Amino acid sequence: MKIILPIEIAAEIEPHLPSDTKVVLVDSEGNLDYDGTDAEVYLSWFFLKNHILHKVLAAAPALRWHHAPNAGVNHILTPTYLERDLILTNGAGVHAIPIAEFVLTYILSHAKNLAQLQALHAEHQWKRGFPIQELTDATLLIIGAGGIGQAIAARAKAFGIRIIGTRRHPQPLANFDQVVGADEWRSLLPEVDYVVVATPLTPETTGLIDESVLRSLPPHAYLINIARGAVVDEPAIIKALTEGWIAGAALDTVVTEPLPSDSPLWSVPNLFITPHCSGHSPRGKQRSIELFLDNFNRYQTGQPLRNVVDKQAGY
């Protein structure tokens, strides 16, 4: 069997492949080092650009299965890609642990007012009397109760938080007090203290967190986005924070990345911006490799693959 591997990760994967596997390397410009016309499998890597993807597709007409390490695949599902009859699998779950830990970091930082405490430390001031909250009995809404959402819930539950999740097809889930459908969550917004956006980016979720959602939240609410930037309406969040509709927000992802230095987002009050790093972990690469190798074994032996993407739904 012939397999296309990105040159930057091939050396860590090749030793674990069967001896009869022929590896074709692809460089950062989409050039193959060997004929890939009969390759069946393609492993892409992070930061895959459309023109690189399309170049590989054109060079591998026999391709049957493509594995992408990302959880979100909105950047992959181009019209050109969808013309091909490919099985697409993704890295859902690989980054759940570090992202869930980051979400709790955002929540605790806000609840314990760490920004003001750090400012006081820098100013050599011993000052008390400003708000510091606890998390017991707070309500957390996780929009998108998939693998990442469930990892967040498992950790948040230890703090005594009431947790509501959303799913396209609601069902009871461990650590969730309530799981509701695609639109039911809107009626619950007035009782929510924290909102975490963990839903894939699809045509249905683009601009999901808009002015109506932000106006429905209580003034003390805190919004966290660890999904994709375009799920949050950026002009709406700027207005909401500037005018004080909600208490604050943390955005680990924005529409334009890297965020330009002159973006108005940098100056918005009570907004904590991080550079799309919540999924970073020294163990992330190894988890990605292990998932791919397990799926490669499944592919060879005719077993169902893990993390098959519904290309019409977008995740």
> Checking phi first, is residue 75 left (phi over 0); if not, alpha (psi -120 to 50) or beta?
alpha
Contact 97, 281 (CB under 8 A): yes
Question: Between vectors from CA 131 to CA 274 and to CA 224, what angle results, nearest 5°?
Answer: 25
Contact 144, 208 (CB under 8 A): no
**Cα(148)–Cα(224) distance, rounded to whole angstroms?**
13
Catalogue the active-site residues: 228, 257, 276
DSSP 157: H
**Cα(206)–Cα(6) distance, rounded to whole angstroms?**
30
Please, which residues have CB within 8 angstroms of residue 264's CB and are 6 or more apart in sequence? 238
